Amino acid sequence: MANLQIDDRTKQQAEELFNRLGLTVDVAVNIFLTQSIREQAIPFSLKLTDNEIFYSKTNVDHILRGVRQFEENRGQIHELIEVD
């Protein structure tokens, strides 16, 4: 893996950060890859934003299933319960 495509702004910000940490981008990438191999995973949490989770295929399918059931008079109306 000789070349990575990184947009200029991201590369500049990464270089500034890693320089402050006493690292080069190459060393930082090697640390990331080595840690990934050790953990057999991405070494940090990957999360979707609330909006991305809400509009996920699974959630949208669930909502549409409920709408179909309601339209077929098979739905149930519940009172809204607010929680903190």
**Mean pLDDT throughout 55-75?**
81
Q: Which of 6, 5, 3, 25 is nearest to 15 (CA)?
A: 25
Q: In the prediction, which pLDDT does 69 show?
A: 84
- How far is the first Cα of the chain from the last one, in angstroms, to the nearest whole number? 49
Q: In the prediction, which pLDDT does 20 show?
A: 92
Model's pTM, two decimal places? 0.52
Tell me the two tokens of residue 9: 């702004």
pLDDT in tens, 13-49: 999 999 998 999 999 999 999 999 999 988 887 776 6
Chain position carrying tokens 């909006």: 51
- CA 61/CA 41 separation, integer angstroms: 29
Summary mean pLDDT of the chain: 83
- Whether 59 shows a pLDDT value over 60: the answer reads yes
Chain position carrying tokens 């909502």: 63
